[in-house]
Structure 1
């Protein structure tokens, strides 16, 4: 190999350590070779030696390597710390979700018991002929239907949430009359609510409002909102449903005189499994899915749903749908 390059110098040192060949214009300390080895036993103390062309080369490389190692170490520590924070947050989120799902099972089980108990009670009364009058029998049958529909709603909420999570929710949309749909829903719910001292009232100046949507799903939205108002409306209070038009939109509102939603919880009430933890509402049942399902259905129908505090106290949920431009018949 060449004796002189930009990186190193090869030479031979005599027995006194003096190089036999010294390249010109090189400032080298010949007393300290980078590496040296004796040539042969016949030439004692004669050595083949190698010198660095730049004596500071190793120091410079070492400093650069040290800097890189420090940067990599800092990055590794940051990554470990950041990863720990992220994993802790994810674990906390998963644990919170697991608790919510456990609460869902508990709440749904409790919610299912109430209509089942009522259905059994009225069925046994009819079988025993305890209510012989035709009026009472009709009332009990109406309550049986109402409780059965309530049971179906609870089951549908859970099933719809499962379908929506898997992207399998489907709708059978047809042209329907929202006024008729709301009146029929109110008719099914008002007797059961009357038993609790709650009045359910529907107001609209239209006799007919045509809209294209899934009938069962829209009923589910309305019943979920009524059920939500029922949980928080004290005995003797009224739940109102209003239907009107505003420019190119159809507006459906449900209003109650319950405690309302605290300002800090307004943005969370449509989240799945979320239930307001408040001294005024802590005894109210529910699965925490009613408003979530309502928002999902409304959104899938091209509408929006939001919450507003009701003037004078209570809650007001407003749903807006795009108007289909059909002529609407006015009522009194």
Structure 2
């Protein structure tokens, strides 16, 4: 059913229908003109034939009536006229179904061709006969009221000598035989026309396929091309216009295939570039609605590509209510967007580039997003670092300048003040030396100038030696060390000097902030593939809000106390750098007024074995 319905909607059916309808219209026009002309010609021929026969019959009857003799009675005259009528009826009028009557000047019927009916005593009262006796001819086509047949009625006067009217002749001839003949001819014409139309329709179907077949092929090809397949070709059936169209279609398919391949290649290149860019890219249409964004843009903005498409660019950049899409066309300088929250900082630099058509109309906007969080953080740290170094150096330099001016003004001669002033100058000088040394150490770490000289060491034995040294240094202070070290060796790969510097900084901090009579606990244990070192003091502790910052450069929880104890604020920063160079980590845990624990993890030696418990 679908194929039948499709055929009636097809171009082939329309072409055949138009072709047959044109032929049918032409046939109808020709048929109407032909049948009208044929009928008119038949009627005219029938009338002319009757008129000719009537003229000849009238002439002979007139001659008979004029030449009648006195010895001829009326019956002889009537008989001779009947003979004339019979002769003409047999020769000329037998097929016409005609009725002929001859009347005298008194409208008495002299003769007729109605066999079996005597003519004597008959009177014709037809008005046309009366008019003929008055010299008026009549030739009309009438409808028989009894049979409904069409009749040709002709009435002519009979002239005697001296143009005297001596009678009339009246003819009634049926035309049905003629119209039957016309109808037969019409039927023959219609039948032959119908056969011709049927043959023409069949030929039209066959001929139309020569036109519609290549068109159907091109339609199928266009459907395949719409799905992206440009490999199929249309068959060329000839060199006519349709053949040229098919050739042009094949050329178009080939060009589209090449163009599509080029476009696909460029699209893949662009997609690869966008996918591997470290910057985020967002493309919008002329109305500022997002039509494309790469993976990096999704990461930077924490968006989903499908969900973001169609949204307004200011909305996804958190600029809604501040700017409109058209405002972004005028941004020639990058815009810093702050997406920071309580957990982490996030600063993104957005650069805007307007896309325009050849006639200058805006067709879209390209936005490039660059994560500048670390850059801004480094810049902030650089500024803070310069400020901190300047501050840390200014204090001892100011102290040195003040004490040297005091010595210059006469304190040098004072035996009590001079040694004290010189001692302060020496302390501040040592403090600046420590600060410069720490800065140099950090500088080497930043530019990766340091190289670890790692060797296999027994961590337990090394920690015992380290604690022994510190116990000798603090024997005059009321601070004690507690060792929680395993009794078996723990083998690690480390740079002994660098790790010694790390533990010196951590234990020195613990000593600085330990109260009188306090205890510092040094411990070590195994945790999976790592060794953990713990240094626990009993100081005032570190607030929660400051714990994640203590490994930053120049950061001090209590700046006044730390500076009074000679701290530079760089020790724990150096510790973090050194431990990370050993592929380890360091962290802090502390509670207010309950001390602070610094934990350091370092990997175990890859090929060494952990010693057994010595008992």
Structure 1's 206 and 158: CA in aligned 2 closer, same or farther, altered over 3 A? farther
CA contact (8 A) 2:590 2:596 kept: yes
Alignment of 1:1-332 (within 5 A): 72-73=329-330, 75-76=331-332, 79=335, 94-105=382-393, 157-277=438-558, 283-309=564-590, 313-324=594-605, 326-331=609-614
- Cα gap change, 1:91/1:252 in structure 2, threshold over 3 Å: closer, same or farther? closer
After TM superposition, give the deviation of residue 230 of structure 1 in Å. Answer: 1.2
Deviation at 1:203, TM superposition (A): 2.0
Change (3 A) 1:89 1:109: same
Q: CA deviation at 1:327?
A: 2.4
The number of residue pairs the alignment matches comes to: 224
The separation in 1 between residues aligned to 2:481 and 2:444, in whole angstroms, is 31
Sort the Cα spacing of 1:154 and 1:70 in 2 relative to 1 into closer, same or farther, 3 A: closer
Q: Aligned-pair distance for 1:166?
A: 1.8
TM-score after normalising by structure 2? 0.32
Give TM-score, length-normalised by structure 1. Answer: 0.57
How far did 1:198 drift?
A: 1.3
- Shift of residue 322 of structure 1? 2.2
After superposition, give the CA deviation of every residue in 1:76-126 in whole Å (9 maximum; x if it has no partner). Answer: 58859999xx9999986554322211244368989xxxxxxxxxxxxxxxx
Deviation at 1:204, TM superposition (A): 1.1
Give the secondary structure class of the aligned counterpart of 2:474.
helix
Higher relative contact order (CA 8 A, sep 6+): 1
**Which stretch of structure 1 is more off in the superposition, 179-188 or 234-243?**
179-188
Q: Deviations over 1:143-199 (max 9, x none)?
A: xxxxxxx99987754432120122211111111111221122112211222323211
- 1:222 is paired with a residue whose SS is helix
8 Å CA contact 2:552, 2:573 repeated in 1 = yes
The question of whether the paired residues in 2 share the 8 Å contact of 1:276 and 1:282 is answered with no
SS at the partner of 1:208? Answer: coil
Alpha-carbon deviation of 1:330?
2.4
The CA deviation at 1:314 is 0.6
Q: CA RMSD in A?
A: 3.9
**1:29-65 deviations in whole A, cap 9, x for unaligned?**
xxxxxxxxxxxxxxxxxxxxxxxxxxxxxxxxxxxxx
Q: Which moved more, 1:198-207 or 1:168-177?
A: 198-207
Q: Which residue of 2 aligns with 1:42?
A: none
- SS at 1:318's partner residue? strand
More helix by share: 2
C-alpha distance 97-156 of structure 1, shift in aligned 2 (>3 A): closer
Compared with structure 1, are the counterparts of its residues 156 and 174 closer, same or farther at alpha carbon in structure 2 (3 Å cutoff)? farther
Task: Name stretches of at least 5 consecutive residues in structure 2 with no aligned partner.
Answer: 1-323, 338-348, 351-372, 399-430
Aligned partners of 1:246 and 1:291: how far apart in 2?
23
Task: Name which one, 1 or 2, has greater alpha-carbon Rg.
Answer: 2
Measured in 2, the distance between the counterparts of 1:159 and 1:77 equals 38
Q: Cα deviation per residue 1:274-328 (whole Å; 9 max; x = unaligned)?
A: 1113687674431111111111111111211110126981101111222235122
